[in-house]
Amino acid sequence: MIVVAARGLVKTYGSGRAARRVLDGAAIEVRAGELVAVVGRSGSGKSTLLHLLGALDRPEAGTIEVVGHRLDGRRERELTRVRRDHVGFVFQAYHLVPELTGEENVLLPTRLPGSGPDAPSRGRALIDRLGLNGAAARLPHELSGGEQQRLAVARALVHDPELILADEPTGNLDAEAGAAVLALLRGAADDGRAVVLVTHEEAATSAADRVLRLVEGRLKP
């Protein structure tokens, strides 16, 4: 099953002589059970691509479908519903709420309207499965980078999305913690999710089924 498909994506930043087209006809298709790594130099548009696939931003041209839902031309309320129901994000900077414990951060998406009744119990099961029981009651500043990022992965999985988007998830971690996070993302794909991993680290591609290079605004094998 194709989880996310995008074609002809165009995105430009700036205007006039300062305009820079970071995506120029980019296309990607990812199936359930597949982990695809996107690599490219800094500033090549990798994060922009993820933001478009996850409905955090809109392309100037092109089409995007997530589990059969067209994103282009949708109203913001509809995009919010797609993000809530079908997409999980893992960011390089973790984005944990500093005033909340590890468990409260993981369960944060379960507070959204429309969240399923089994989401809180799934979140606690994820914490246990990922070996985070010791981190569950502590605040983010009391945790290591690896613990924070594993909590961020758990938060991305808590509402059981079909699509996981990971933006440089190992960029702030040492080799051991980075390998643990990659293993979690690989496991998410093996469990039937589609995972798109953006990275500038060649080592992070080892867990991928396919590697695509973003060059001059387009994705190439």
Q: Which residue has the tokens 């369960």?
A: 107
Query: Can you give the pTM of this predicted structure?
Result: 0.93
What pLDDT, on a 0 to 100 scale, did the predictor assign at position 110?
86
Rounded CA-CA distance 185/191 in Å is 10
Q: Give backbone dihedrals phi and psi of 202, rounded to 5 degrees, phi first.
A: -60, -35
Residue closest to 86 by CA, chosen among 1, 209, 178: 1
Sign, CA torsion 40/15/89/84: negative
What pLDDT, on a 0 to 100 scale, did the predictor assign at position 182?
92
Q: What angle do CA 43, 23, 40 make, to 5 degrees?
A: 40
What pLDDT, on a 0 to 100 scale, did the predictor assign at position 221?
93
Domain boundary assignment for the chain? 31-57+85-220
pLDDT tens for each residue of 36-74: 999 998 889 999 999 999 999 999 999 999 999 999 889
Rounded CA-CA distance 158/147 in Å is 16
What pLDDT, on a 0 to 100 scale, did the predictor assign at position 105?
96
What pLDDT, on a 0 to 100 scale, did the predictor assign at position 113?
73
What pLDDT, on a 0 to 100 scale, did the predictor assign at position 119?
79
What pLDDT, on a 0 to 100 scale, did the predictor assign at position 201?
79
| Burial of residue 98 (number of CB atoms within 10 Å: 0-12, 13-18, 19+) | exposed
What pLDDT, on a 0 to 100 scale, did the predictor assign at position 67?
97
pLDDT tens string, the chain, 221 residues long: the values are: 999 999 999 999 988 888 899 999 999 999 999 999 999 988 899 999 999 999 999 999 999 999 999 998 899 999 999 998 999 999 988 999 999 999 999 999 888 776 777 878 988 998 988 889 999 999 999 999 999 999 999 999 998 899 999 999 998 888 888 888 999 999 999 999 999 999 987 778 989 999 999 999 999 99
Rounded CA-CA distance 71/73 in Å is 6
What pLDDT, on a 0 to 100 scale, did the predictor assign at position 75?
92
Rounded CA-CA distance 75/85 in Å is 16
- Architecture of the domain spanning 31-57+85-220: 3-Layer(aba) Sandwich (3.40)
